[in-house]
Amino acid sequence: MNKINNIDELLEELVTGKWHPKSANPIASSNYPGLNYSCGCGSNHTLSITDFLMIGPPAKFVFICDNDYLTGVRVKGIFKQKPYELWTCKKSLYLEAVEVFGSD
């Protein structure tokens, strides 16, 4: 998993990963029973009960945990799904990036 530590890297990931706000597809669901992902905070979290902010094609989610980390996760598989952690960053970095991007 790629740990993102600066705004430029995060903005590049958000653009190249084709991430969109969760509201872009209100029926999107991370309800994959029994699947956990390894978070940047060092814990494992359950996909189906962890809030997500963004979605991306195909079956990609940006989860935000209670420890203030964002983690991009892709779920692969039809009959048996498996999560793949793509990247992670601190929530504070994401908020800085939103502020910078929004001021342009």
Does this model's pTM top 0.85? My answer is yes
Count of the separate structural domains present in the chain: 1
pLDDT tens, 44-61?
Answer: 999 999 999 999 999 999
DSSP character string of 40-87? TTS-EEEGGGS-EEEEETTTEEEEE-TTSEEEEEEEE-SSS-EEEEEE
Estimate to the nearest angstrom the gap between the alpha carbon of 73 and the chain centroid. 5
Q: Which tokens hold the place of 20? A: 């969109």
Give the pLDDT score at 73. Answer: 98
**Which residues span the domain enclosing 29?**
2-103
Residue 103 has pLDDT above 70, yes or no: no
